[in-house]
Structure 1
Amino acid sequence: MVLDVKDSVNAVVVTSSILSLFGSATIIVSYALWPRIRTTSRFILACLSFADYASAVGYGASAMAALYYGPHFMLDNPFSCRFQSIVTTWSSMATFCWTVALAVYLHITIVRDNIELGKRLVPVYAAVCLGIPTAVTVGALLSGALGYSLPVTTSGWCWISEEPEWPVFQRNASFWVRDGDARLFWMLLAGKFWEITSCILIFILYFLIRRHLRRQTRTNGRQFLTTTSRSIAQSADRKMLVIPVAFLLLRVWGTTRFIIDTVHIRLHNDVPNPYYPLLYLQAVGDTGQGFVNFIIFCWKTDSVQSLLVMACCWCFRHRRRHKHKDTAPLPSRSLPSGLQVEPTDQHPSQPVSSTRIERSSTACQPLSYGAVDSSSGKDGLTHSRDTPDMATDDPY
């Protein structure tokens, strides 16, 4: 049976949301469990992951309801539609703000070399990243702007209703307005303005950080004589390029559809048909930031990756040990008390292989990725635990 376009888009949204839930939850849990990685940048990343988690819950729940109950479920249930719009509108703006806050923090601590200022600004980051989304979402809700929207600027979820009202302070304005301007205003204020602004700021800040890192590498080349220090510097340089590019590739599709929709309505005064390739790309991009952050900041960060591998190995060994206890046979009565013989595949006359003993004892030991200790690096330099320097193992 061939899936309908709406069903296939919802299936993509559900899959991407599940991956984002996994990635965001892993970042939050790793920050809570391991004090070794509780740096200021990781705290900001955990807050960003919470917003990504909320977005994935809202988008995924909307898509699953459409798959299970039918594509018109949100249209027939305005309360559910409005509640989902509240959650995803707030979390999307919070995601943009926290992403910019992380870039600002890294710029202050790396380029300006002022770690204390970066730490003192954390309450300011929290106030801005929580205050702006809350104020805009409450204003949109009171103006009736949140609700069911046609799948022209979204991939099936609820966002801005088709006929919202102007805010209270602009309802009696004397400037020129036309039909649809209120919807355009709320689409900008409740998402697209912050999305476009964050893309611009992120590209500028990470460009400045990357340029500073390259200058520091050329100026202090003697500090990177070891292979470990050189690889860490190259990894930091790559991350400063990957982070803004990944953010742009995730968000550009929804912005492109928003521009096409706005221009088409202005020129033809009707709603355009959705361009399906962009529809699928937006379904992945708007819901997948949590999983992309997991890949960049966890799996591609050596110290966090080693901790995750250790945790997975411990869980596997713990589960296997309990399974072995449940299925282990009782000791033979013919053997002396306390003497047990483990089964082996080797012939009794052959000695036990030392290689197999070594493998069993080191199977789930922490993997070595050339990590540098947070207090004293292999290159002889001393670094602060919160210093996002190139010679540290987990700066980002």
Structure 2
Amino acid sequence: MANGTPEIEYYDHELNIRRVIEQSDLQSMDQALNICDLSSLERKLRLWQKLIPRIKPYYAVKCNNIPVLVKFLADLGTGFDCASKNELKLVLGLGVSPERIIFAHPSRPASHLEYAKEHEVVNGTVDNEFAIYQLTKHFPNSNIIVRFKSESTKALYLLGEKYGCDSEADAPDLMLLSKALGLKVTGTSFHVGSACSEVEAYDRAVEKAENIFRFGELIGHKMDLLDVGGGFPGKNDELFEELAAAVNTSVQNRFPDERVQVIGEPGRFFVEAAYTLICKIHAKREVRNKNGKLEKNMYFLNDGMYGHFAAMFYRPEELTPVLYLDDVESRPKFKSVIWGPSCDSQDKILDDCLLPNLNCGDLLGFRNMGAYTVPIASPFNGFDVPVTRFFAKRP
């Protein structure tokens, strides 16, 4: 680690997770270990550029804000979706130009707007009249991106209850108000929901965006930015290919004018598959019935629901542990429960799973742990969050 910044370790062909584990001396560590393959981000960017080349990705910083990772994406040339002053500071501090940033939060504190104004981050989203009046005072020269609601029927969680105006009832009024106050509306945005799996969701949203563009141009706004938001999966490239094809078709049909800049806000897409979390069993309990027969094993790990599994509180997901043991497939399996380290009885990672008989010191791996893990992890109950080692393929 140089000047407090973690170093990137390089590999030649393929990252060997097991070798990293063997070199990390996890038996002497109380903390879990994150293994981050930064080259996974580069592969994801190439996939994005291949399948939806017209849409420029603006990485959603909230998904994983580790500076090493954000800088890696910045060096690759992505744009950035920031939602706060601190996220703006992070990205601008890495030398990213303000033109590569969208301040994508419809309800921003005044001080955050002042900071954006000072650093010329002009593109920002709005979904209500109070935010527009706020801009007249704090950032009248900003470019207003009207965010409307258009949600998927198949997404892990939706955002429309909190953000996004009605595309028919509210969006025209917001554009008229902006015009009356001398403010510029330059585009529109939406978000179909996190980890969307409904191919048709984007076409419905782009159709609404087309109508908003037409009305904006009709009343004299120069509309030149379409933001298709996020929702793209991070660990299912086949589904992403289907979604990308639908987005391509919809955008080209409804926005054929290449002068309209089209951007997206992928977060999970880039970082979810980049992380593998390695946890150690630090305690074990055998639960037996009154006849002494084993009913289940309970294992206690050094990370849990207040650490890098925190997203499972609001997005329950069945995880499949990877066991770094020899002959694991041939061993008999037992009903097992996996707990996190805290005193909270809600700190349960997996219930009623089948695992071989494990011991204290054995390691469990969890893949696809890069999205909405690092930023919301906390050292609750005094247990440290995992450490991270960064790797990339040698140039």
- Structure with the larger helix share: 1
Larger-Rg structure: 1
- Judge same fold: TM > 0.5, yes or no: no
TM interval, shorter chain, is: under 0.3
- Structure with the larger strand share: 2
